């Protein structure tokens, strides 16, 4: 009898719960933030930078919150380039933001995006946006000419080549890239190379990149992947040697630079000052100083000694026996002699390039 009573009570309790749920069914949780992706790439390549556009519709009253907080979960095989996520208001009442990422060398997964509404530092509502699937592709596998650059457009502004050593040339390439990853450039066909400077202005990057090549190499060749055309583009840069030294080894002409002009002006001003002092006071000290300044000013205006260099003479970068040969003269040239050092003579050519020749070669 006790067992029957317990069973009856259980039936009535279950019936009561079901009946209560039918009378007062659970209320759906109100949605106050709607997040969605509005724009994103269909596929991404190794090392590529890309952006995703996110839109949010907030139906909660603006008076109910005073701030917003956006957080991202840790992405997989991705670098998040946007450090400060900002939302912009749209004419239709929604808000939107753009987040930039950079892919690594394997398949990736976007982070979960969370937008929270805050009121006096407390979360009053939040929503999350689950990651979408973007196709990942490796490109240029085993392609020696591929430079690792992926861009919507690439432009070569200039190429300057100078003598680096007896057997090598130094070429500096100025590259302009749009939606690019110029920081990843590497030209596998060449040896010593590196970045001189890299700047970025929104979508545009500007890179100065140097490459050391053997004397016999006449072109610098590489490819990049164009994301607009969806194809590899080959870049061919002719190497044209300029008749000047590498910037770190070039010395300015001390007889034609601004420093000499400043010295001449300074001595001239001092000479005028002491002439006025001598006229007013007739002091012997002023007269001595005036004499010294006249001699010094005359020295500063004396032209340097002229030297005739015969054809076949080698011009060196530095006054040492193991210095790099800058060039070998093909014709006779008249140059200015500056100074002698270690059996070498520093000379200035008509184009104001500076070099050193052996003193014995002039005898």
Q: Please report which confidence band the pLDDT of residue 293 belongs to, taking 50, 70 and 90 as the band edges.
A: confident
313: closest CA among 251, 358, 246, 249? 358
Q: Which of 231-245, 269-283, 313-327 shows the lowest per-residue confidence on average (mean pLDDT)?
A: 313-327
- Domain 303-363: state its class: mainly beta
Report the first-to-last Cα separation within the chain, whole angstroms: 136
Q: Does 20 have pLDDT greater than 50? A: no
Please determine, looking at this structure, whether the domain spanning 33-137 carries the CATH number 2.60.40. yes
Measure Cα distances from 191 to 160, 186, 197, 215, 327 in Å.
18, 10, 19, 13, 24
Residue 259 pLDDT greater than 60, yes or no: yes
> At a CB cut-off of 8 Å and minimum separation 6, what does 290 contact?
271, 274, 275, 278
Examine the pLDDT at 248 and tell me if it is beyond 50: no
The predicted-structure confidence for 108-157, as pLDDT tens digits, reads as follows 999 999 999 999 999 999 999 999 999 998 887 677 899 999 999 999 99
Give the Cα separation of 49 and 360 in Å (integer). Answer: 60
Structure-block tokens of residue 296 = 């010094």
Banded pLDDT at 92 (limits 50, 70, 90): very high
Per the rule left: phi > 0, alpha: psi between -120 and 50, beta: everything else, 227 is: alpha
According to the model, what pLDDT value does residue 266 have? Answer: 87
pLDDT at 1 over 50: no
Helix (H, G, I), strand (E, B) or coil at 232: strand
The pLDDT assigned to 303 comes to 65
Q: Residue 339: what pLDDT?
A: 80
Q: Which residue carries 């390549």 as its tokens?
A: 45
Q: What is the pLDDT of residue 238?
A: 93
pLDDT band per the 50, 70, 90 thresholds, residue 239 = very high
- Measured at the alpha carbon of residue 158, what is the angle toward residues 349 and 252, in degrees to the nearest 5? 25
Evaluate the CA torsion angle 274, 280, 282, 284 in order and state its sign: negative
pLDDT band at 351 (very low <50, low <70, confident <90, very high): confident
Proportion of the chain above pLDDT 70, given as a percent? 83
pLDDT for 275 beyond 60: yes
* Residue closest to 115 by CA, chosen among 103, 106, 105, 123: 123
Q: What is the pLDDT of residues 34-65, one digit of tens each?
A: 999 999 998 898 889 999 999 999 998 888 99
Residues sharing a CB contact under 8 Å with residue 218, sequence separation 6 or more, in sequence order: 238, 239
**Higher confidence at residue 293 or residue 249?**
293
Model-level pTM greater than 0.75?
no
> Has residue 246 got a pLDDT over 50?
no
**For a pLDDT cut of 90, what percent of the chain falls above it?**
42
Mean pLDDT of 2-14: 43
For 186-194, what is the mean pLDDT? 91
User: Which pLDDT does position 27 carry in this prediction?
Assistant: 40
- Length, in residues, of the chain: 363
């Amino acid at each position: 009898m006790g067992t029957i009573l317990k069973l009856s009570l259980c039936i009535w309790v279950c019936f009561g719960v079901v009946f209560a749920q039918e009378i007062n069914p659970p209320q759906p949780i109100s949605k106050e933030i709607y997040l969605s992706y509005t724009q994103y790439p269909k596929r991404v390549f190794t090392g590529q930078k890309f952006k995703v556009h996110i839109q949010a519709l907030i139906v909660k009253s603006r008076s109910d919150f005073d701030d917003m907080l956006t957080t991202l979960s840790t992405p997989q095989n991705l670098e998040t380039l946007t450090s400060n996520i900002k939302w912009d208001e749209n004419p239709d009442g929604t808000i939107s933001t753009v987040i930039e990422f950079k892919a690594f060398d394997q398949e990736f997964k976007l982070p979960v995006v969370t937008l929270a509404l805050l009121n006096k530092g407390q979360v009053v509502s939040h929503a999350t946006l689950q990651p979408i699937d973007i196709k990942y592709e490796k490109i240029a596998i085993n392609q020696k000419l591929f430079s690792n650059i992926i861009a919507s457009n690439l432009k070569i502004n200039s190429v300057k080549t100078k003598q680096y050593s007896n057997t090598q040339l130094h070429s500096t390439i100025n590259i302009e890239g749009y939606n690019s990853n110029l920081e990843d450039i590497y030209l596998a066909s060449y040896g010593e190379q590196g970045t001189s400077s890299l700047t970025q202005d929104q979508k545009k990057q500007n890179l100065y990149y140097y490459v050391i090549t053997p004397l016999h190499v006449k072109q610098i060749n590489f490819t990049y992947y164009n994301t607009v055309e969806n194809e590899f583009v080959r870049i061919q840069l002719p190497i044209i040697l300029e008749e000047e030294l590498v910037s770190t080894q070039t010395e300015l002409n001390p007889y034609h630079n601004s420093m000499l002009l400043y010295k001449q002006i300074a001595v001239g001003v001092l000479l005028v000052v002491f002439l006025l002092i001598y006229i007013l006071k007739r002091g012997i000290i002023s007269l001595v100083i005036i004499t010294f300044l006249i001699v010094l000013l005359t020295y500063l205006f004396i032209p340097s000694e002229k030297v005739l260099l015969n054809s076949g003479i080698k011009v060196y970068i530095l006054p040492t026996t193991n210095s790099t040969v800058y060039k070998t003269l093909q014709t006779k040239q008249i140059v200015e002699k500056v100074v002698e050092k270690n059996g070498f003579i520093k000379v200035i050519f008509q184009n104001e390039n500076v070099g050193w020749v052996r003193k014995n070669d002039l005898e």
